[in-house]
Amino acid sequence: MQNSPVVISLGGSLIVPDEIDSVFLKNFKNVIIKKIEQGFKFIIIAGGGKISRKYVDAARQVTDITKDDQDWLGIHTTRLNAHLIRTIFRDYSYPVITDNPNTPEKIEDYLLNNSLMVAAGYRPGNSTDYIATLLAVRFNCNLIINLSNIDYAYDKDPNKNSDAKKLVNINWSDFIKVVGNVWEPGLNTPFDPVASKVSKENKLKVIIANGRDFENLENILANKPYKGTTIQD
């Protein structure tokens, strides 16, 4: 993995479950710095999580809100979360948040003299999972680690369906059948449909795992057996 940066899509549910989780952030930082000291480099894309939905809900109580505005509220939430992540990695990170994965600027150079760069949402129509896929393609990475508050993805919502089946290994065609093909603002899926399509087209591998299991995260980074859902063709 040291030959290319590790792309981590960091769910907002980990950063701000209800309030900002400084304990999680401290432990996450310790794991990442440990790997940086071993020669790893990282691209971390911050999600919006529950707080973005609170902004949308507040707006709805006052006025009608378009899908674009729902997305923009989420995007700006990811940017605030990304700045928090960049701040805690200040000594290791490129100082500017990447909010346009398609910028003509040579962002590949950001990691020449830094161990880490942080990215956030860009435009309506997708989640930060999509940004992770675009950056993975741009930096020639074939693996994305998607960290959220679940151990595995399921074939249906396990909170609503007692017969939901855990997905351990699945190909992209079958996974897209689970998450669908259409993005809706606030959509709560283990990996966004737009990002899934890009991942399939570019033969990316995505691991969905629980970001609070730090030993498991270290196993993933060390290429050891891990707990989580692996999606690849």
The DSSP code sequence of 36-88 is HTTT--EEEEE--THHHHHHHHHHHTTS---HHHHHHHHHHHHHHHHHHHHHH
The residue written with tokens 């399921």 in the block is: 154
Per residue, the 3-state secondary structure of 148-171, as one string, reads ECCCCEECCCCCCCCCCCEECEEC
Check pLDDT > 60 for residue 169.
Answer: yes
pTM: 0.92
The residue written with tokens 């093909």 in the block is: 181
**Residues 173-183: what's their mean pLDDT?**
84
Distance CA(138)–CA(98), nearest Å, equals 13
Is residue 209 a contact partner of residue 220, using CB atoms and an 8 Å limit? yes
Between 15-19, 51-55, 181-185, 191-195, the lowest mean confidence (pLDDT) is in: 181-185
**Residues 86-100: what's their mean pLDDT?**
95
Q: Supply 161's token pair.
A: 């369906």
- Tell me the CATH number of domain 6-231, given options 3.40.1160.10, 1.10.3720.10, 3.40.50.620, 3.40.50.2300: 3.40.1160.10
What is the pLDDT confidence band of residue 180, given thresholds at 50, 70 and 90?
Answer: confident
CA-angle at 187, arms to 182 and 191, nearest 5°:
75
Res 107: pLDDT:
92
In angstroms and rounded to an integer, the radius of gyration of the C-alpha atoms of the chain is 17
Is residue 48 a contact partner of residue 78, using CB atoms and an 8 Å limit? yes
**Residues 172-183: what's their mean pLDDT?**
85
Res 221: pLDDT:
95
More confident residue, 49 or 199: 199
pLDDT tens digits along 115-147 = 999 999 998 887 899 999 999 999 999 899 999
More confident residue, 4 or 126: 4
| Residue boundaries of the structural domains of the chain | 6-231
Check pLDDT > 70 for residue 1.
Answer: no
Distance CA(55)–CA(52), nearest Å, equals 5
194 CA to centre of own chain: 13
